[in-house]
């Protein structure tokens, strides 16, 4: 679940998450080591970094303010770097300044990279120039070889960062453009499939009207509804941004509304209590088959002069997902029910979910379908 969650996160947010957690962990470990065997002052600065980073993480990153979170950790790192340099009069701690531009490159948009890096280098140059004048004995600042290597290293980081950022942004742009094209094509496919399914359903409906044989008519109308349940799913898919999965609650409610509209009867009510769950297309088709069979079966065995009430429930249980279906009919012949084609179709569709199906007719006709977890992941 942890890995799957990050698959949908923007790469800059993922980088930023890594920066925060890595920096806080390393700073905390450094504080422990410094308190134990090194400088207490360094340990206090490390703890200050951890506290400030945690506050910024909670206030900005956890609230989805990615740019503010990137700017915050950038300037917290700058502050800690200057405190370390001030404490040790510009010594080897200056190498940590190489990491600061990297924070900007991998977590900020281009405009913010330019602004924040410009301010950082202006401060760094001013700080080093100030110490160059007042600290005549500083080995690092008054050694030309060290300074040249330090400046060249920063130029390397800057040039690498610029080309890295451009390459990543261009790659992401091309991938997004490719994905948009594929989504448009997939939506068009769903649209055409939906139209073709509706066409087949209409033909079956016309054939049902053309025959006088009641059994044939019922057979054609039942298959018409099965095809229409699939067409509804394709309609939902092509009307939304994500053409690979759909919301179960939306689909069930739309399917129930379509069946009620088709039978055009006021003495049938369907109450749906469905948990919002994003499901892949193949799972949705199987759900549609199950629910279509349950609904049409209830309507088929409806008693005259009695209002038919149907309740559909879908929710998470402890180790399963539970699909409950109940009507207020007095149908009692479960053995005859289990011999029907509709029941066998329900059992076949339930295998997709590795589900356990139980039927009870003591208080209306009730189905309890226990679906094992794992199948619902998209």
* Domain layout of the chain by residue ranges: 2-142, 244-378
> How much is the pLDDT for 119?
93
Q: What is the pLDDT of residues 224-271, one digit of tens each?
A: 877 887 787 777 776 766 667 778 888 888 888 887 777 766 778 888
Beta bridge partners of 314: 274, 323
pLDDT over threshold 50, residue 2: no
> How much is the pLDDT for 377?
47
> How much is the pLDDT for 264?
62
Tell me the DSSP string of 199-224.
HHHHHHHHHHHH---HHHHHHHHHHH
> How much is the pLDDT for 375?
56
> How much is the pLDDT for 1?
38
Q: Chain-centre distance of CA 329, in angstroms? A: 41
Average the pLDDT over 310-328 and give the result.
Answer: 84
Rounded Cα–Cα distance for residues 78 and 124 (Å): 9
Q: What is the pLDDT of residues 200-223, one digit of tens each?
A: 878 888 888 888 888 888 778 778
pLDDT over threshold 80, residue 117: yes
Average the pLDDT over 69-92 and give the result.
Answer: 87
The band of 4, judged by pLDDT with boundaries at 50, 70 and 90, is: very low
What is the residue-averaged pLDDT of the chain? 81
Per the model's pLDDT, the better-predicted residue between 262 and 69 turns out to be 69
Could you tell me the pTM of the whole model? 0.55
Report the percentage of the chain scoring pLDDT > 90. Answer: 6
Question: What are the distances in angstroms from CA 369 to CA 30, 137, 236, 294, 353?
Answer: 55, 81, 25, 12, 10
Q: What is the pLDDT of residues 17-47, one digit of tens each?
A: 888 888 889 889 988 988 888 788 888 988 9
User: Which phi and psi angles does 270 have, rounded to 5°?
Assistant: -125, 120
One of 3.30.70.20, 1.10.10.60, 3.40.50.300, 3.30.565.10 is the CATH number of 244-378, namely: 3.30.565.10
Average the pLDDT over 98-120 and give the result.
Answer: 86
pLDDT over threshold 70, residue 78: yes
Q: What is the pLDDT of residues 127-175, one digit of tens each?
A: 888 888 888 888 788 888 888 888 888 888 888 888 877 787 777 788 7
Rounded Cα–Cα distance for residues 256 and 270 (Å): 7
Rounded Cα–Cα distance for residues 205 and 181 (Å): 36
> How much is the pLDDT for 376?
55
Place of tokens 């009620």: 260
Rounded Cα–Cα distance for residues 331 and 320 (Å): 28
> How much is the pLDDT for 3?
41
Average the pLDDT over 359-375 and give the result.
Answer: 79
The band of 122, judged by pLDDT with boundaries at 50, 70 and 90, is: very high
CA angle 336, 339, 342 (to 5 degrees): 105
The band of 75, judged by pLDDT with boundaries at 50, 70 and 90, is: very high
Pairing relationship of beta strands 320-327 and 308-316 according to DSSP bridges: antiparallel
> How much is the pLDDT for 243?
65
């Amino acid at each position: 679940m942890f890995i799957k969650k990050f698959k949908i996160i923007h790469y800059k947010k993922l980088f930023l998450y890594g920066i925060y957690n890595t920096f806080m962990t390393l700073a905390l470990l450094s504080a422990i080591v410094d308190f134990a065997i090194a400088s207490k002052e360094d340990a206090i600065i490390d703890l200050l970094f951890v506290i400030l980073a945690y506050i910024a993480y909670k206030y900005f990153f956890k609230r989805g303010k990615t740019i503010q979170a990137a700017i915050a950790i950038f300037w917290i790192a700058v502050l800690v770097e200057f405190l370390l340099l001030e404490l040790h009069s510009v010594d080897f701690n200056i190498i940590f300044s190489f990491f600061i531009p990297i924070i900007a490159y991998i977590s900020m948009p281009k405009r913010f990279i330019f602004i924040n890096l410009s301010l950082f280098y202006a401060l760094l140059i001013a700080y080093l120039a100030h110490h160059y004048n007042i600290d005549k004995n500083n080995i690092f600042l008054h050694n030309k070889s060290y300074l040249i290597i330090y400046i060249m290293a920063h130029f390397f980081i800057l040039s690498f960062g610029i080309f890295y950022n451009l390459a990543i942004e261009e790659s992401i742009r091309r991938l997004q453009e490719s994905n948009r094209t594929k989504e448009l094509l997939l939506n068009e496919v769903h649209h055409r499939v939906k139209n073709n399914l509706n066409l087949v359903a209409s033909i079956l409906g016309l054939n049902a009207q053309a025959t006088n044989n009641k059994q044939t008519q019922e057979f054609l109308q039942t298959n018409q509804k099965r095809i229409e349940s699939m067409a509804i799913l394709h309609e939902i898919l092509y009307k939304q941004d994500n053409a690979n999965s759909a919301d179960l609650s939306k689909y069930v409610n739309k399917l129930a509304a379509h069946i009620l509209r088709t039978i055009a009867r006021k003495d049938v009510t369907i109450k749906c209590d469905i948990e919002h769950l994003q499901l892949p297309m193949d799972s949705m088709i199987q759900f549609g088959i199950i629910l279509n069979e349950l609904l049409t079966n209830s309507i088929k065995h409806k008693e005259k002069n009695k209002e038919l009430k149907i309740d559909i429930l879908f929710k998470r249980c402890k180790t399963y997902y539970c699909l409950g279906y109940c009507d207020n009919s007095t149908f009692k012949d479960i053995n005859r029910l289990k011999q029907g084609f509709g029941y066998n179709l329900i059992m076949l569709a339930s295998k997709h979910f590795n589900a356990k199906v139980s039927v009870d007719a003591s208080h209306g006709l009730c189905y309890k379908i226990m679906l094992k977890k794992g199948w619902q992941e998209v």
